[in-house]
Amino acid sequence: MNMTISPITGIKIGTACAKIKQTQHDDIVLFELPTQSTTAAVFTKNAFCAAPVILAKQHLARTKPRFLLINSGNANAGTGELGLQDALNTCKAVAKLTACQDTEVLPFSTGVIGARLPIDKIQDALPQAISALNSQSWEQAAHAIMTTDTVPKSSSVHMTINNKPITVTGIAKGAGMIRPDMATMLAFIATDATVDPTVLHTCLIDAVNQSFNRISIDGDTSTNDATVLIATGQDKQVIDSTRHPDYALLCQAVTKVCIHLAQSIVRDGEGATKFITISVEEGASQQECLKVAYTIAHSPLVKTAFFASDANWGRILAAVGRAGVDSLDINAIQIYLGDVCIVTQGGVAKEYTEERGQKVMQETDINIRVLLGRGDVQEHIWTCDLSHDYVRINAEYRT
């Protein structure tokens, strides 16, 4: 995977500082999309979804987007009808300055929940963002959408379709309030391929289910989660079906970008010091595998043990046991910490020693494997530990 971010032909990006929550860094981003592009998106399933989520869904259903407007520092969530009007007014401001329709603008916001969006500040900064529009500003955009992130998140993948080079590039933000139920936080991915909108949506769903929907930092699903996939239509041959010979190659590239971004979010989890892969194997269904995996990932006792590098394996065993899997045969279960078997036949493995377990816990990248002994289904998710800094960051978030 190319770690240097590559621009996507047809897309222009401009950033500016609207001083929404801070005055030092850019906090609004404007994407300009070519007229022939197609766009797909998935959004949070949180019942209190933010005003920009509601409006973006409505606009996407009515027309082809020409612009994406993103702000950080304010989520415009929990703001009722006034919030919807604020989001619409920002779309109208973009439309007025770019001679497009307000329905051709999709709004996205991230930041503090429950506060009115400072639309005057955004409107004042928009001319600067528009004048800055160019094809090279992906990294600037990755910085501008950050909230508690400590590093920007970006990724590019290159491939060849019909002897023509095709690129997939994406950026994302997120470090806390992470337990996606669709996509996660904010992510914007684009390719210069030409893709039918229905096919593009299928590709996005497939990629999201293997990436963003497999991560958790703290078990909280945001009100503002959104992931967008854009195909700018630079290739003459249209990928118009999931049976098209180039569909699998494109979807594989999109998935690679999404996985890299998703893992980057976990590695940058608020206060995180450990990157943890939880694999549940030999399950009877995908549902029970994920149920076990997320029960482990969301256990504060498990997460704090990893932060302390404490091989307190009983916390993992207890999480598996309370995951709610019916008729669980504990004698058939095996649990591994790295390559060290810690549980078998309903208790501690004979070959396990505290020293071997402690050695694994000292590592920064750790694998947990749970073998349920019930079938041949397997799933994996990515999570992190829970540290003092997570509490500090969220205790001080509004101060």
Which of 39, 79, 110, 184 is catalytic? The answer is 184
Distance CA 69, CA 156 (A): 22
Whole-number Å distance between alpha carbons of 224 and 74: 10
258: tokens are: 């999404």
- Catalytic residue status for 184: yes
Distance in angstroms between the alpha carbons of the first and the last residue of the chain: 39
Q: Which among 363, 322, 323 has a CA at the least distance from the CA of 340?
A: 363
Give the C-alpha separation, 381 to 184, whole Å.
Answer: 14
Angle at 259 between CA 254 and CA 264, to 5 degrees: 130
Residue 25 CB-density burial (10 A; 0-12 exposed, 13-18 middle, 19+ buried): middle
Residues 79/107, Cβ–Cβ less than 8 Å: no
SS3 390: helix
Q: Six-digit token pair at 38?
A: 């197609």
d(CA 268, CA 151): 7
Local structure of 336: helix, strand or coil: strand
Strands (E), the chain: 12-16, 28-32, 38-43, 67-74, 105-112, 153-161, 164-173, 186-191, 194-195, 226-231, 238-239, 275-283, 334-337, 340-344, 347-348, 365-371, 377-384
Is the Cβ–Cβ distance between 137 and 31 less than 8 Å?
Answer: no
d(CA 176, CA 198): 31
Q: Hey, which residues are catalytic here?
A: 184
